[in-house]
Amino acid sequence: MRSNMCTAPPARLSLLALIGATVALLSACAGSISGEKVLGVVSPYRVDIVQGNVLTKELTARVKPGMSRAQVRDLLGSPLLTDIFHADRWDYVFTIRRQGAAPQKRQVVALFEGDVLKSLDLPNDLPSENEFVSAINTRESRGAAPKLALSAEEIKALPVPAKTATPAAEAIGVQRSYPPLEPKP
């Protein structure tokens, strides 16, 4: 029994060879793509990766030495890393990679003596809540926000609508009668 590939027309073989070469070329390029665009044309979608607890200056300012483990967990959430060999240390690690924004990584370490918080080691670049939101915001600014309400002066400047003696439905001769909602006994 003979293979169909041997008896295929030359045009079909050249098409298969062209497709194979294109796939090989693109797969070779795929390993070296580190920029934003593939072949300088298409931007691939990248999934946002968020891991850990978002900790801000305002949140960590509420945590004070002398608090219990339960109180710290209530304020900061469960730590990302705990270790049985270092039972008095909790590591709060936060990382985020978002397309169009710089990647961020922060680590906050809570040290305990028994059940009581001894210290909270904070990084120097811990942002406030507003700084964090603006750092991950990838929407481009579209100028000033639209005005949603009129001022008192603008309301006074509006023309007063003319008063009509008859409602609009009566003015055009529409008479409506509706059947009763309940049947008569």
**Cβ atoms of 55 and 75 closer than 8 Å:** no
Q: How would you label 150-181 residue by residue, b for 16+ Cβ within 10 Å and e otherwise? A: eeeeeeeeeeeeeeeeeeeeeeeeeeeeeeee
In a domain, 70, yes or no: yes
Cα separation values, 95 from 8, 30, 77, 102, Å: 55, 26, 15, 11
Average pLDDT score, the chain: 80
User: Over 50: is that where the pLDDT of 33 sits?
Assistant: no
For the ranges 14-18, 106-110, 112-116, the lowest mean pLDDT is seen at: 14-18
Give domain status of residue 78, yes or no: yes
Q: Does the pLDDT of residue 32 top 50, yes or no?
A: no
User: What is the sign, positive or negative, of the torsion defined by CA atoms of 162, 163, 169, 173?
Assistant: negative
**Is residue 96 one of the residues assigned to a domain?**
yes
Q: How many angstroms separate the Cα of 178 from the Cα of each of 150, 175, 181, 182? A: 40, 10, 9, 12
User: How many structural domains compose the chain?
Assistant: 1
Domain membership flag for residue 69: yes
Dihedral over Cα of 9, 14, 16, 17: its sign:
positive
Q: Give the domain CATH number at 92.
A: 3.30.1450
Question: 181 — phi, psi (to 5°)?
Answer: -75, -30
In a domain, 170, yes or no: no
Strand, helix or coil at 152? helix
pLDDT at 134 over 50: yes
With respect to residue 123, please indicate whether it lies within any of the assigned structural domains: yes
Tell me the residue range of the domain where 104 lies: 49-134
Weakest mean pLDDT among 26-35, 41-50, 88-97, 163-172: 26-35
pLDDT value for 141: 63
**Rounded CA gap, 81 and 116, in Å?**
18
Name the pLDDT band for 18 (thresholds 50, 70, 90).
confident
Q: Does residue 37 belong to any structural domain of this protein?
A: no
Pairing of strands 49-52, 116-121: unpaired
CA 46 to chain CA centroid, Å, is 12
pLDDT the model gives residue 104: 86
- Domain assignment present for residue 109? The answer is yes
pLDDT attached to residue 98: 82
Share of the chain above pLDDT 90, in %: 27
Which DSSP helix (H) or strand (E) runs through 26? helix 10-30
- In tens, the pLDDT along 73-94 reads 999 999 988 888 888 999 999 9
